[in-house]
Structure 1
């Protein structure tokens, strides 16, 4: 019953905040994140568990510092949905720097899987790479449990000509789009359970990792183009970083390909550990017989 009132109120607030200067919205989100970090919560606990697992060499002071920074980034990312979902193309142009190792406007771009990673700026990065390619892209998404909010999110994410595809209907749709030379965005660095997954190391910890990216790339066939979003310091906006396509991928060995993906992600996380999505239970699914962390 409460959500019937809170959902439209939240959406209305986001629409209103999209009219405010980006710097002000970013500062408000940062302040809210700092405030919420002072309160004990399950998400705060998850962040600390993940950081302790992935960075055992850090002392408590460093983990506490990065955890606090991350919480501020995570909460800020939700507040900045206002700009990301409802901001104009002109506004986005002002706050996004595109740094690409390839020509994104190449008319001869081969079938391409756009592999995104869950840094706090993934929402903006996905919208921005769609715009930078200047062509219709497919985008796989996990539907939100709140149907009213999910409808708004899908509409907002699709407004720059993205074709939104629920993950439950993904395989055939992805193959169809790739064979039509339509780039497809997807993320594979979350714990989606043991189906179509393998346990491979992520910062030395066995992590349930999807193997479907390599199989889709082999079936299409398609190149895999990794991209990440970075929040710039001093409330200056974002950087969309697009890397060169992976060479010799896939190999036909699902486990080896999943290891490569996680190794690549580790390299990127080390450059800005406070911005990876540590509030997610990355190690929720454990190998048979192994005790859970959370």
Structure 2
């Protein structure tokens, strides 16, 4: 059954990869709206996150935002067809880049590209890999078959895929060799190597890996965000200026800065952030679970 399920997923994604982009995007929005109407654990998680992070919004505003988010999430899943099985040109056609740094600089210092879990993160990373050498961290999925598929397709334009759990030494080697590394550290991965710092005023278990790797690899930290553009016009990958004085020497200070930067981006298009994840899965001692 697992092999059959994986084969059906591949067949669906291959089919979606040859359909017009705007059709697939619209289909995803429609399906996502329909799925939101059904009771689900993910819907509950989304609403809990929104109530915690936006307490001043009304219940109807939370519902509207959650519905829009579901549509964007499902749309991103369907667009995996283009991202995983489409040509490099098809990806370049739907993603524009706005970079505040010179991406063609042969003398650039070691660089960590710090991403965040917006629905467009994957297509932004894949677009970058069609143009420049890069390594990318990934987290292993529970399904071995799907994980292997994702790793293979995400790396098909030359990106070196590195499993997060075994990455530190390899990442440092790559940084010191001059290859940039893309990673995202805004999910709750457990209390080990993490600190509790505010995210929209709520204590969030936040990884300190970015600071540690930047320090060991003597690397600058460059944030990037991929935004879904309105009217089905594709995506915009924005690469920002490097964070100044980062790492600072304090994991707590650095984690606060990372979350503060992320908050600034989330408020621009809150429906596109990954609220389906249990961002507050782990809580400080003595504070009750929220899910």
**Which TM-score bucket, shorter chain as reference?**
over 0.9
- Aligned residue in 1 for 2:10: 11
What secondary structure, in the 3-state scheme, does the structure 1 residue paired with 2:267 have?
A: helix
Q: Does 2:264 match 1:267?
A: yes
- How far is 1:129 from its partner? 2.4
Q: CA–CA distance in 2 between the matches of 1:151 and 1:198?
A: 31
* TM-score with structure 1 setting the length: 0.97
Q: Does 2:285 match 1:288?
A: yes
| Structure 2 residue corresponding to 1:161, chosen from 158, 176, 179 | 158
Q: CA–CA distance in 2 between the matches of 1:93 and 1:43?
A: 32
Q: CA–CA distance in 2 between the matches of 1:214 and 1:154?
A: 25
- Aligned residue in 1 for 2:176: 179
Alignment of structure 1 residues 122-161 onto 2, 5 Å:
122-132=121-131, 134=132, 136-161=133-158
- Aligned residue in 1 for 2:34: 35
| Mean Cα deviation higher: 101-110 or 281-290 | 101-110
Alignment of structure 1 residues 65-104 onto 2, 5 Å:
65-104=64-103
* TM-score with structure 2 setting the length: 0.98
| Mean Cα deviation higher: 67-76 or 140-149 | 140-149
- Aligned residue in 2 for 1:243: 240
Deviation string 1:172-215 (CA, Å, 9 cap, x unpaired) is 00000001011001110000000000000000000000011101
What secondary structure, in the 3-state scheme, does the structure 2 residue paired with 1:271 have?
A: coil
Q: CA–CA distance in 1 between the matches of 2:139 and 2:213?
A: 18
Q: CA–CA distance in 1 between the matches of 2:204 and 2:226?
A: 22
Gaps of 5+ in 2: none
What secondary structure, in the 3-state scheme, does the structure 1 residue paired with 2:98 have?
A: strand
- Aligned residue in 2 for 1:229: 226
Structure 1 segments (4+ residues) deviating >2 Å? 129-132
Gaps of 5+ in 1: none
Are the aligned partners of 2:49 and 2:279 in contact in 1 as well (CA < 8 Å)?
Answer: yes
Deviation string 1:241-284 (CA, Å, 9 cap, x unpaired) is 10010111111000000000000000000000000000000000
| Mean Cα deviation higher: 101-110 or 256-265 | 101-110
- Aligned residue in 1 for 2:60: 61
What secondary structure, in the 3-state scheme, does the structure 1 residue paired with 2:104 have?
A: coil
Q: CA–CA distance in 2 between the matches of 1:172 and 1:272?
A: 35
- Aligned residue in 2 for 1:107: 106
Q: CA–CA distance in 2 between the matches of 1:250 and 1:240?
A: 24
Q: CA–CA distance in 2 between the matches of 1:76 and 1:84?
A: 12
Are the aligned partners of 2:115 and 2:223 in contact in 1 as well (CA < 8 Å)?
Answer: yes
What secondary structure, in the 3-state scheme, does the structure 2 residue paired with 1:160 have?
A: coil
- How far is 1:148 from its partner? 1.4
Q: How many residues align?
A: 291
